[in-house]
Amino acid sequence: MKPESTLGRTIERLASRQSRIGIIGLGYVGLPLAARFSEVGFAITGFDVDAGKIAELNRDNGFTKYVGRETVQVRFETDFLATDDFARTAECDALIICVPTPLGKYHDPDIGYILDAARRIHPYLREGQIVALESTTYPGTTEGDMLPELLREGLSVGEDFFVVYSPEREDPGNAKFDIRSIPKVVSGVTENCLAAAEALYGAAVDNLVPVSSTRVAEMTKLLENIHRSVNIGLVNEMKTVADRMGIDIFEVIRAAATKPFGFTPYYPGPGVGGHCIPVDPFYLTWKAREYGIHTHFIELAGEINQAMPDFVVEKLMHALNEEGKALKGARVLVLGVSFKKNIDDMRESPSLHVIEGIAAKGGRVSYADPFVPRLKAGHGVSSSYESLHADAATIAAHDAVVIATDHDNFDYDMILREARLIIDTRGRYPATEAKVTRA
């Protein structure tokens, strides 16, 4: 029968590495995914709307480093082409959509990039193709929003083409895990779609986790990130309570983590950042309202995390006051502006809010970050900045140093020796150090 034969041919082409894989969105998710499929023998076509990125990627089919809002290094072992010509999607047996899903002005989900990708595919969709979505989104997006944009007369989903959802699980800067080793949740609109998903991702990932529907897979991704948001919000609130009581929260966490069951350590900081934790919970809160549910717990965690940069600035003000200085006019150096250590991604970084908070109160703020050479006005900050070198002379020249992102290549012994005052948001120093204030 046709469904089996179409699916069978699709699976056979994947198994024999005859398929060409198309990746739509060549960022921190799409590029590594393209490289992984290339590594296991597939020809790759990358689609993007950024002409500069396309030109850079096509200059070297070997080692490619793209520096934008993130840095990605990939090696393509097979034929690779980057293009903005979406007519070439017809050449691909599988199309994997890895586009952003930001929030709108009022924290409402913006799935415009997903819908735009589907509309670009639509005129060229053909029999035997797989269309996979990896972008984080609310339950119902794949079937209720994306699929209608793909449908063409004469092509039936699950029989002629296959629509799947498999959420990305990236952790930038974490060398312990890669695409191959991270278990991959897969789902399909129909049983045949799920079989196609397993054939596609099974070629590149060691362990697959099939689930019963795309809605389950979409909710799984949200739960993963909301779990982190809520627990980070909890420990950030605990930090403020412990601080008022004169208790070292990092010592508390280390002690609690010795319990071999029922406890997972999370660590406080100046807030949360990145492409997931500050954004994804709002996708569920927005969708939940459609069902008459108000997600108080999730939203409260978000409020706590968003308030942490102000807490850091207040601790800075208090520490300076103790030294007989005002924040207004004080020279303050913020160490680290990416949202997590050892990467250059600044999306939603709480460090940027700390910088803005210091500047708003009259502080003469600078920053040092070896991964981020400059900050441009309008990209999270209202003024432009150039990164300083975190050397001894620079540290000593400032009235206070704020450790916002604790990159491993900062010289913490030198910083402790040369700094006049340290505001430590990451627990790099013992709370007993005289010049250290925890924040």
Domain spans of the chain? 2-211, 250-438
**Residue-level length of the chain:** 439
Q: How far apart are CA 127 and CA 150, in angstroms?
A: 12
Q: How far apart are CA 325 and CA 319, in angstroms?
A: 9
pLDDT of residue 145: 97
Residue 264 Cα to chain centre, angstroms? 21
Q: How far apart are CA 295 and CA 279, in angstroms?
A: 15
Helix (H) or strand (E) holding 436: strand 436-438
Residue with token string 């809002």:
69
φ/ψ of residue 82, rounded to 5: -105, 140
Residue with token string 């779990």:
227
Residues 383-410: tens digit of each pLDDT: 999 999 999 999 999 999 999 999 999 9
Low-confidence ranges of the chain (pLDDT < 70): 1-4, 60-72
Where on the phi/psi map is residue 185: left (φ > 0), alpha (ψ -120 to 50), or beta? beta
pLDDT of residue 56: 83
Q: How far apart are CA 63 and CA 304, in angstroms?
A: 42
Q: How far apart are CA 347 and CA 349, in angstroms?
A: 5
CATH class of 2-211: alpha beta
Q: How far apart are CA 106 and CA 437, in angstroms?
A: 35
Structure tokens at 349: 């970084």
Return the CATH fold of 250-438.
Rossmann fold (3.40.50)
pLDDT of residue 170: 80
Domains 2-211 and 250-438 share a fold: yes
From the list 92, 98, 193, 276, the catalytic residue is 276
pLDDT of residue 371: 92
Q: Which residues contact 351 (CB under 8 A, 6 or more apart)?
A: 270, 273, 334, 336, 337, 338, 339, 367, 404, 405
Is there a contact between 316 and 439 (Cβ–Cβ < 8 Å)?
Answer: yes
Is there a contact between 41 and 18 (Cβ–Cβ < 8 Å)?
Answer: no
pLDDT of residue 4: 59
| DSSP alpha helix (H) spans, 277-397 | 280-289, 296-322, 350-360, 392-396
**Cα–Cα distances in Å, from 29 out to 73, 159, 270, 291, 390?**
12, 29, 26, 31, 31
φ/ψ of residue 3, rounded to 5: -55, -45
- In the annotation, is 276 catalytic? yes
Of 229, 303, 257, 289, the C-alpha closest to 427 is 257
Of 183, 176, 187, 104, the C-alpha closest to 147 is 187
Residue with token string 């609310």:
138
Q: How far apart are CA 187 and CA 213, in angstroms?
A: 6
Residue type, 7: L
pLDDT of residue 67: 41
Helix (H) or strand (E) holding 404: none
Return the SS3 of 228: helix
Residue with token string 């080692």:
63
Residues 231-284: tens digit of each pLDDT: 999 999 999 999 999 999 999 999 999 999 999 999 999 999 877 888 888 899
pTM for this structure? 0.90
Q: How far apart are CA 127 and CA 111, in angstroms?
A: 26
Residues 31-51: tens digit of each pLDDT: 999 999 999 999 999 999 988
For strands 63-67 and 71-75, give the pairing: antiparallel
Q: How far apart are CA 155 and CA 191, in angstroms?
A: 17
